[in-house]
Amino acid sequence: MMSLPWDPTERDNMANKQRGEGTSVEKKAENKKGADDFNLALDSSDDEAPEEVTFEDSKARAVESLKLALDTARREKELLKEKRRKRQEFFQEQKKKKLLSADLLEEIDSVPSKKQKQAEDKDEEEEKRKTKKPTGVRNLKGSYTVSTVTDRGQSDYQRQAAEDFIQSRLYGPGSCRSSNNEMLSLQNKTRADKSAAVQFVKKDWACKEKAKAEKLKKRWIHKQQIPTS
């Protein structure tokens, strides 16, 4: 609500009404006025001044609201900070669980440094000396050894994919392939001393298919005989 330095005239009120701001206080005042007007209808006049709101009051109110806003912002920040801190602690704990215990680390740390010291000593003694340390294997106190894991999963997968590519291009759909049986049978048919197709010439050709065919044949004959018998 704007506090005018002068008493609001009718013209100002009209401007407000036109603006449509509907200053609630004014409306309230008007309603009040209206309510009062019921009782004192004859006494109301448009020139009545609205309630006086002092500058200090409004300033105090503004300051209050500012403070409130700041407070909420601060609170929110603090809440976020808390959350982050908690999460960080949780991660730290997880990491700790994953890592080896501190004494084990000390042990591992101490051994290679010892080795290095020994090597340096040896170097000091003899000028020409090859220090060959086997890569990938370290002997530690106790029964630990470190070695690399041969991981061929990726290369096997790629090799299989490449082989599948060749297989599909040469033998896949659209490659118009026949069978060895057909090829040999055609050879049998077209050569000088013609003979039968290979599956009849060679007794052990496609034994399983022949056995299956025999079974089906027997079943069919049996079926044919049942209605007649």
Residue 207 lies near other proteins (rule: CB under 8 A):
no
Q: Which two tokens stand for residue 88?
A: 């960080």
- Alpha carbons 62 and 73: distance in angstroms, whole number: 17
Name the helix (H) or strand (E) containing 110: helix 102-125
Query: Residue 141 or residue 194: which is nearer to other proteins going by CB?
Result: 194
Residue 99 lies near other proteins (rule: CB under 8 A):
no
Among 39, 143, 178, 228, binds other proteins (CB under 8 A): 178
For the four alpha carbons of 59, 60, 64 and 67, in that order, the dihedral sign comes to: positive
Query: Residue 52 or residue 204: which is nearer to other proteins going by CB?
Result: 204
Among 40, 186, 196, 216, binds other proteins (CB under 8 A): 186
Query: Residue 49 or residue 170: which is nearer to other proteins going by CB?
Result: 170
Contact string 120-159 vs other proteins (x = CB under 8 A): -----------------------------------xx-xx
Query: Residue 23 or residue 205: which is nearer to other proteins going by CB?
Result: 205
Q: Which two tokens stand for residue 69?
A: 């806003």
**Segment interacting with other proteins (CB under 8 A) among 5-13, 20-28, 116-124, 183-191:** 183-191
**Segment interacting with other proteins (CB under 8 A) among 25-33, 99-107, 109-117, 185-193:** 185-193
Length, in residues, of the chain: 229
- Alpha carbons 72 and 88: distance in angstroms, whole number: 24
φ and ψ of 5, to 5 deg: -70, -20
Among 56, 171, 192, 208, binds other proteins (CB under 8 A): 171
Smallest distance from other proteins to CB 146, Å = 22
Q: Which amino acid is at 124?
A: E
Residue 211 lies near other proteins (rule: CB under 8 A):
no
Residue 86 vs residues 14, 72, 77, 92, 112: alpha-carbon distances, Å:
59, 21, 14, 10, 37
- Alpha carbons 216 and 218: distance in angstroms, whole number: 5
Name the helix (H) or strand (E) containing 70: helix 55-98
Among 92, 175, 195, 224, binds other proteins (CB under 8 A): 175
Q: Which residues bind other proteins (CB under 8 A)?
A: 155-156, 158-159, 161-163, 169-171, 174-184, 186, 189-190, 198, 202, 205
